[in-house]
Amino acid sequence: MCARRKHHYAVLATKKRPAARPAGPPGSAPSAPCPETSPDQAPRRADVYTRLYAGTKKARLAAARPRRTPSPAHAKPASAAQMYELIRRLDALLFAEPNSLDAALEEQQPVAAAQLIDAQDTQLSVYERGEMMRNAHVYYVPPAWTAPGCGSAINVSSFKNNYGFDDADGNYVVRPQDHVAYRYEIVRVLGTGSFGNVVHCRDHRYAARGRWRNVAIKVIKNELDWLLQAVSEVKMLKHLAAAQAGRADGHVLTYCDHFHFRGHMCIVSELLSLNLYTLLELGQFRGVALALVRSFARKILAGLRFVHAQHVIHCDIKPENIMIRLPPDYCPGAAGAPDFQVKLIDFGSSCLETETSFSYIQSRFYRAPEVILGARYGPQIDVWSFGCVLAELFAGSPLLPGRNELEQIALVLEMFGAPPSALVLAERKRLLRSVRTDMHRKLNDPLVSGASVFSSKPAVQVDERKLKKTLLYTLFNLDGKINLPFLNLQLQACEPKDQPASALPAPFKRNVKLSSRSLDVSMRLHSSHEDKSDQAAFSRFMGLVFQWDPAVRPTAAQLLDSPFLQDGLGQSAGGGPPN
C-alpha cells in the first residue's frame, strides 16, 4: 500500500540519530531513544561497508577486551512485550485506536438528505446538493457546514482537476474532518502510493456511546488503469472473504465495502495498526531477534497457506504489505503480553493460479528469479518473497537490494550461484509450450501477439522474437549455462553516467562472481548474540526457501512443519501455533 521506497542503504546513510530527550506526555509520540554519547563519539551513518568495517587497523597483539553487548536502547526486540514497548514509546496512538469491526457498535438511523439540503442550502454548492439528492441517506456532514458563514471549500466552477476534487496527479484531495460519501469522517492519511491514498475514517453508520467504527479507505487514483486494478483487487478480496467468513483469526485483510465517490473507486476495509516496514523504521532498521522472527514467520506462512489454498497468488509480498494488529488490551508492565495478529494486504496484483499473465509483478527486492527471467511462475514466488522479507526482518535491511532487474539477478547469482543447466532448458520448453497452448491468457501478455478487438477467439500466435528477449534466453547459452560476460557487459552499460560514483548510495555492480556471498554469513553479521544452534537452524530454514527450482522450493504448508518453526512453539515470543 506504500509507494516503492528508496534504497535502504540511502536511508541508513542519511538518516540522523536524534539527541536523547525525556519522554513527552501520554498520547504524544516521543523521539527514538539514543545512548548518551558525546558528538565526537556518535556513530557515523555512512554506507554499509563503512558501518561494518570502519576503524583503524588493529595491532597484531591487541589487549583482550570484554565482549560488547547491545545497550537496552539498541537491543533487538526479542518478544511481543519488547516489541509493544518499542512501539508504545515511539507512537502510543497505535494502541489507542479501537477495534475497527467492534460487534458492540449499533447501526444508526440516517438523516434525510432533503432535510439537510433545506437547512444548509446556503452552505452547499450545486454539485453537493446533487450528491445529497442522489444519496438519500446521510450519516455525516463536516462540522464546517454547521458553522455560520462556513461552507464547502471545494471550487466546482471548472472541470479542471475533477472540479477541484483532485490534485495534479489525480489523487483525491484529503481534508481532515471532511466526509467520504456523506458517511465516513476523514481522520488522517495513513499512507500514500502510486495507486492513491489510504485514509483512516470513522464510519458514522455504526456507533455506541460516543464511539464510531474505525475503518481504512483506499481511495484509488482517478485514472482508468488504476481503476481496473482496483476492480481486480475487489474481486480477489471478495473471493478470499467468502473463504474466510466466520473465522475470527483471519490471515488476510477483512473487506467491508466498495463504492465510487467523485470519480474515485473507494475500498473500505478493517483498520490495522502498522506494517512491518514501519516496525523496522521504529527500531531504526536494526531488525528483530530470532525469537520474534520465528513468531512472524509462523503467522505470515499461515496467511500464505490460506491464500494458496484458495488458488490465489499474492504476487507482491513485501514488508509494506504485511500488517500487524496490536492488541487493544495491552497494559505495559503486566505479566504475559497478549498476542498480535499478522495480516496480508494489497491484493491489487494478485491473480489466480490459472491466470498468470502479468509480466511485471512483485517488488524488485522481493522478486523471485523465475519472474526476473521471464519464465512461468506459480504460488512459489510468494515463498521466495517471504524468505526475502524474513531476512530483512532479522537484519533490518534488504537481502537483495538491486537497483534494476539486471543487478537484482546478479545479486541472486552471487548469493545462491547459477541455476542448473537442466532447469534452464526445462523452463524454456515449459514456457514455449504453455504460451502456445494456454487459451485463457490475457491479451496484454508481452509474449503473445495482440488480437483484434473484433475477434471472438484469443490470439495463439507466439512472437518468437519477444520470447527470446527474456533473460531466460539471453542470460544463458544454448546449453543452459550462465553467460557471465554478457551479464557483466550489460551491467556496465546500465551504470548511471550522469552522477559520480561517490554520489551513489552503494557501488554499482560491474563484475558478477558466482556464489561469492554467503547467506549464512550475511545473517550472522546482523546477529544479536543469538544462540548458535538457533542461528544454524535459521540458516538451514532460509536455505530451504531460496531454491532456484520452484518445484523443489517448499510450500507454505511444508515450511510450517520445519524444525526451525516447530522449536519453541507456544513459548513467550508472542506467537502461538498458526491455525
Q: Residue 106: CB partners within 8 Å, gap ≥ 6? A: 206, 207, 208
Whether residues 554 and 468 share a domain: the answer is yes
What's the rounded Cα separation, in Å, for the pair 328 and 88?
12
Is 553 within a domain?
A: yes
Alpha-carbon distances of 554 from 243, 292, 309, 394, 494, rounded to whole Å: 24, 22, 14, 21, 35
The residue from 270, 287, 305 where one domain ends is: 270
Whether residues 402 and 254 share a domain: the answer is no
Whether residues 225 and 285 share a domain: the answer is no
pLDDT at 284: 95
Is 81 within a domain?
A: no
Cell digits of residue 19:
539527541
Reduced to 3 states (helix: H, G, I; strand: E, B; else coil), residue 278 is helix
Cell digits of residue 539:
540458516
Whether residues 525 and 378 share a domain: the answer is yes
Is 150 within a domain?
A: no
Whether residues 373 and 472 share a domain: the answer is yes
166, 178, 203, 316: the catalytic one is: 316
Is 123 within a domain?
A: no
Q: Hey, what long-range contacts does 438-443 have (CB within 8 A, 24 or more apart)?
A: 440/354, 440/355, 441/355, 441/357, 442/355, 442/357, 442/358
| Low-confidence residues of the chain: pLDDT under 70 | 1-74, 97-100, 120-122, 144-158, 358-359, 438-464, 496-509, 568-579
Is 12 within a domain?
A: no
Whether residues 260 and 312 share a domain: the answer is no
The string of DSSP codes covering 414-475 is HHH-PPPHHHHHHHHHHHHHHHHH-SS--TT-TTBPPPPTT-SS----B-HHHHTTSHHHHT
- Report CA torsion sign: 462, 464, 465, 470: positive
pLDDT at 198: 96
Whether residues 414 and 556 share a domain: the answer is yes
Q: Is 433 left (phi over 0), alpha (psi -120 to 50) or beta?
A: alpha
What's the rounded Cα separation, in Å, for the pair 271 and 196?
17
Is 455 within a domain?
A: no
pLDDT at 455: 41
DSSP state letter for 482: B
pLDDT at 490: 92
Query: Do the Cβ atoms of 177 and 143 come closer than 8 Å?
Result: yes
**∠ CA 143-147-148, rounded to 5°:** 160
pLDDT at 463: 64
The residue from 226, 253, 270 where one domain ends is: 270
The string of DSSP codes covering 139-176 is ----GGGGSTT-------SS-HHHHTTB-TTS-B---T
Among 217, 240, 220, smallest CA distance to 231 is for 220
Q: Domain of 182: which CATH number? A: 1.10.510.10
Q: Is 481 annotated as belonging to a binding site?
A: no
Provide the domain limits for residue 308.
275-441+462-495+507-566
Q: What is the domain count for the chain? A: 2
Whether residues 377 and 472 share a domain: the answer is yes
What predicted TM-score, i.e. pTM, was given to this entire model?
A: 0.81
Whether residues 476 and 361 share a domain: the answer is yes
Is 316 considered catalytic here?
yes
Whether residues 432 and 529 share a domain: the answer is yes
pLDDT at 36: 43
Whether residues 237 and 353 share a domain: the answer is no
Whether residues 325 and 381 share a domain: the answer is yes
Is 383 within a domain?
A: yes
Q: Residue 149: CB partners within 8 Å, gap ≥ 6? A: none
Q: Residue 528: CB partners within 8 Å, gap ≥ 6? A: 70, 75, 76, 78, 287, 289
Is 540 within a domain?
A: yes
**How much is the mean pLDDT over the chain?**
81
pLDDT at 497: 65
